[in-house]
Structure 1
Amino acid sequence: MNGRSILLVEDDDAIRESVAECLDAEGYAVATVENGVAGLEWLRRSGRPDLVVLDLVMPVMNGAQFLEAVRGDPSLRDLPVVLMTAALPSAQLPVPVADGYLTKPFELDQLLETVARHARRR
């Protein structure tokens, strides 16, 4: 166990489960939720993880809306967030500024390197 915690916000069950399993195998404590609303509720209830890995395109509350809420909260604004998406920027859903990015599909080594880099900044 490396002592670092990750909140994974991803609506696709298969991606959420596989990413969580990979991070868990590397010693991260991983909590998972299926959308931005559930992610904000988790943060209010459970505290501050070392990193949020966030999907961009989700129902209920997308990644851009989640990130805007996090950056607008003084207690969370410096929380590291890595955005993962297969979506290209569009006028309807611009890609927000995050601490790191993963483009789906990504390789396991890309995931682990990106998470390690951003989870240790804190």
Structure 2
Amino acid sequence: MSIPTSRGSILIVEDDEDIRAAMAELLENEGFEISVASNGQEGLEVIEQMPRPCLVLLDLMMPVMSGEDFLRHLRKHPVFHSLPVIIVTASGRQPLPGAQGILKKPFEIGELFATVAAHCDG
């Protein structure tokens, strides 16, 4: 069995364990290195320790620190201020200022792959 070559790193910030695990597994199977966080505060800690991601997939409604607060902190960060962020949400909200798009839950696997392909090389 061959191990896929990494196509880049992605950070998934999502409080729903099932959604987080499913997205991580799907993207790992496509050759991406995945880091996960269950809230915005954890996301800020994880992003400092991982290889620079090509994309952040960000839920909005989470405990401890919301996706909106995470995005505000990220945009002020000297290294990560320009990272592409896609909001992953079931709410009818439009993308937040500073986000590059929105992926509405529930989404099709193809929508997830197309979103990632638009922001990550490989």
Classify the TM-score, shorter chain. Answer: 0.7 to 0.9
Conserved? CA contact 1:57–1:87, under 8 Å = no
TM-score (norm 1): 0.88
Residue of 31, 35, 40 corresponding to 1:36: 40
Q: Aligned equivalents of 1:117 and 1:7: distance in 2?
A: 15
Deviation of 1:3 after TM superposition, in Å, equals 2.6
Equivalence for 2:24: 20
Residue of 64, 70, 92 corresponding to 2:68: 64
Equivalence for 1:48: 52
Any idea what SS the aligned residue of 2:53 has? coil
Equivalence for 2:96: 96
Equivalence for 1:9: 13
User: How many corresponding residue pairs?
Assistant: 116
TM-score (norm 2): 0.88
- Deviation string for 1:65-111 (max 9, x for gaps)? 0001000112111111111000123xxxx851211210000000000
Structure 1's unaligned 5+ residue stretches are none
Deviation of 1:51 after TM superposition, in Å, equals 1.0
Equivalence for 2:84: 80
Conserved? CA contact 1:80–1:119, under 8 Å = no
Deviation of 1:47 after TM superposition, in Å, equals 4.6
Q: Aligned equivalents of 1:23 and 1:48: distance in 2?
A: 16
- The percentage of counterpart residues that share the same residue type is 45
